[in-house]
Each structure stands twice: as structure tokens, then as C-alpha cells.
Amino acid sequence: MENTKIICNKEFAIGKIDPRLYGSFLEHMGRVIYTGIYEPNHKSADEDGFRKDVLEQVKKMHVTAVRYPGGNFVSAYHWEDGVGPKEKRPRKLELAWKAIETNEFGTNEFMKWAKKADVQPIFTVNLGTRGVEDAIHYLEYCNFPEGTQYSNLRKEHGVAEPYGIKMWCLGNEMDGSWQIGHKSAEDYGKLAAETGKVMKLMDPTIELIVCGSSLSNMKTYPEWDMEVLEKTYDVADYLALHQYYAGQDKGTKGFLAQTLDMEEYIRTIRSAAQVIKQKKRSKKEMKFSVDEWGVWAVPSNTVNAEIDQKPWGIAPAISEQIYTLEDALLFAGMQMVILRNADVIKIACQSLLTNISACIMTEKNGEYWLQTIYYPFHYFATYAKGTVLKTASIGPCYSCAEFDGVPYVDSLVVWNEEDQELVIFAVNRSEEELQKAEVDLQDFEIQHVIESICMTAENKKMTNMEQHDAVIPKKEKNVEIETGRCQITLQPLSFNMVRLAV
């Protein structure tokens, strides 16, 4: 058994955790909305057609914010199609995913669902095929009290009070050639700056998120981010980062090591923002929103083939990824990277909530079940509250084709002052070896272990599809405590959480 030493001190902190770091994402894609969260004929459907069984699991996940309506979908979306009497809403060709959009579910349905789920809404405006005028009309519909064309239209639709939506994304992945209305950084930056300026003229309380690079391997990264920030720095509150990782064929060591790429991606974007800040002689510190992130398991050519085989259907089952234990460990590692940057990352949206790269899977007219990635999200969202501590760690490492010096033990320590808990999260990347994490807790007096959980499996490719409880966390007695320190024994390929009363 190899030993990793982790040192943390109450006085050395990275930053407070913003509750919005535990967000998710809903897009009109495949079965995410229809038969995902919304299925009026389902046995569990409420009076608004929302699946109560799914709503219950969303609440248990402790999701805090949800981004809507896209995603690639938004770049050709007319929000007016999704409001008003349902029988009058048009059916439209949905170009991003080659489907028929019925518009049965739209803005007001989402806001009803968000209230029931107790989540903050994050809305996205169409800067692909539309622009400034559409964005201000949408904001007027949602946020202006009354007495104007679009605020009165909302009232005609049965919504008397404005929603007061605070967070708005100015387009989606506009750096991507796949995006409808794809633009250069210069063209997007100018449009986003003008759109944001006008939106804040109407409602200066809103927060705006501008598009950064869609992936760390984009050819235009990081020049795109610097160009966009230079044009939007005065109006933007957040720069968006998106990141997905596939590569299950890399082998476990290479696959799990991709969190190091995510660390470098965020470090680079933070540096780019600092350059623009100094260039503008600004006192403003740019914050970040990782408003799409997750593990991707279905190759893009497979997704395209699925779409091409059955185009122009209504809510077709496409890209329904089934996650393994191995996928859940990378997922947990990505979440730790986000939390280790809690000083500047204030919003994060796991992508997506249901059926596509999802935590929750549903069957049409049937039951739901929880994917392996649901559990790390649940434990972080439930217990990683308060302050992320700055730690120093030394222990065994490995090298693989793309990365050197990869620690076998990836860890995070959170100080929850309100509940007087110290919470330790750890992933053991080793396939064969038990690892021992020795945590030196300076300025903390340990009272007792509240709980220790471990999620592992006999086979790293095991999923919850057939046997829904095949890969779930279980309570362990794997912690030894003494004055000022604790030792945790980590099973091979495992996600772990230890809560200490201090």
C-alpha cells in the first residue's frame, strides 16, 4: 500500500463555494425535455405534465441552478414559439439536432418546473440567427413588470409577475463551426458587447455570461477568449468555459489523467483574463462559468449516424450515454478541478440532467434510474459547502502517453464552518493498489468520523443500466484518526468522501 500525504491548514483557503457550482443543464435535444422531465401522460405526471419521480431525484441531487434552453438548440430558436396557448404554438424544424420541435414546452413551462425543483434559472439568448432586438424582447417578456408590448404579452399568458431572471448567456459555443450562426471572435465579441449593453440598459441587475472556448482543444483557443474579453470586458460578468472528455480507449490511466488538461485549461483562461484586465487598466476581476461540463462516451460520428438514421422525429432517443464506474471517477475529478478554482468559478452546469450525458435516465411511460455519475454530484452538492482549503500533497505518481506526474490520489478538502465539518474527497486512480491518504489537519481538532463512503466496483466498466444499484456508494470503516490527522484507506479505482466533526 502506497502513501499520499495531504496537508491543510484552516488559515489557507482558496475561496468560498458559490452554491451555483452545483448547476445542471436542460436542452431541447433528444429526450432531455420530452419524456425526461416532461411527460404529461406518465403515471407520475403532475398537473403541469412534469414527472414527479424525476423532480424528486433532482431535489435529492441538490441541483441549485439549471441552464436553458440550450445549447446548440438555442442558436436557431425563436422564444416566441414556446409561449402562449399550446394549441397555437407552431411545430418547427429543429436544425441543430434534425428533429421536429413541438414547442409544447417553453419558457413558462420551464419557469414552473424550476420553481418546483427549487433551482435558479440561467437563460440563453439566440445570437446565432438572431441578435440584439430579440434578446431585449426576451428580457422584457421575462423581467419587465408591465405596460409594454412584451411584458403585457407575458401577463396575457397568465404570468402576472415578472420572473426577475438574473443570469443570461449571450449565445452558445459561438466559436464552434458546428454552431448555427457561427462567428469569428471579432464578430461575436462586437455582437455580444452590444447585446449586453442594451440588456443592461433595461435591467442593470442582470449578470451576463459571454462565450469562451468550447473545448481546450479548439484551434482558436485561447486567442478567442482574449479577443472576446477585450470587446466585452466592461459588460460581461462571466466568461463561459465548456469542457467534455471522452477517450475511454486511452486506457484507464490516460482517461482519468485528463483532469490535468482541465486544470491547465482553466489556468490558461484565468491568465488570459488577467492580461485583458491589465490591458484595460480595469479594477474588475472577471469571473467564470463552466456552464457545460461532463464526460462524453458516445463518439460524434455515432451521434451523427443516430441522427441521420432517424431525422425529423419528435424527441428521438439519441446519444443516450451509459456511464461506467470509470466514467464516474473522471466526472468526480472534473468536479474537484472546478471546486479547486472556487475563487473565480462561480457557476457550473453539469451537462445534461436527463437521458443525454445524464445523471438521471428515464423510460418513456416507465421508471427512472440513476447513472454512476449521479452519486459524486450528489455528495459534492450535499456536503461540499463552505470554503475550499488550499492543500499541499505529495505521493506516488504515474505517467501515460499524454501526461506526466499524475498523482494516483486526487483530493479536495472543504471546511464547512456552519456545520463544523471537514469534508475530504478523494479519487484513487490506481487499478490495482490500495492507497493510503494521510491528511495532516493543522489547526483542526478532530472529534469523530461522521461518515465515510466509498464507490467502487468489481469491474471498472460496470454500469447501473441492468442492475440499477450495481455501482453505488457504500459506507466504510476505513478511517483512522489521531490528534491532528487522519488516515484513509482508498480502494482501487474508487470515489471516496469522509466527513469529520471538528
List, by residue number, the catalytic residues: 173, 292
- Distance separating alpha carbons of residues 93 and 314, to the nearest angstrom: 10
> Cβ–Cβ contacts within 10 Å for residue 228, how many?
29
φ/ψ of 252, rounded to 5, equals -60, -45
Dist CA 220 CA 211 (whole Å): 13
In whole angstroms, what separates CA 458 from the centre of its chain? 28
CB 6 within 8 A of CB 440: yes
Q: How far is CA 6 from the centre of its chain?
A: 27
Which candidate, 265, 371, 279, 259, places its Cα nearest to that of 324?
A: 371
Q: How far apart are the first and last CA of the chain?
A: 28
The number of residues making up the chain comes to 502
Cell of 444: 483542526
Residues 211 and 242: their CA atoms lie apart, in Å, by: 9
User: E-assigned strands of 126-215?
Assistant: 167-170, 207-211
Check residue 348 and give left, alpha or beta (phi > 0: left; psi -120 to 50: alpha): beta
Residue 202's nearest CA partner among 150, 264, 130 is: 150
Rounded distance, CA 207 to CA 143, Å? 13
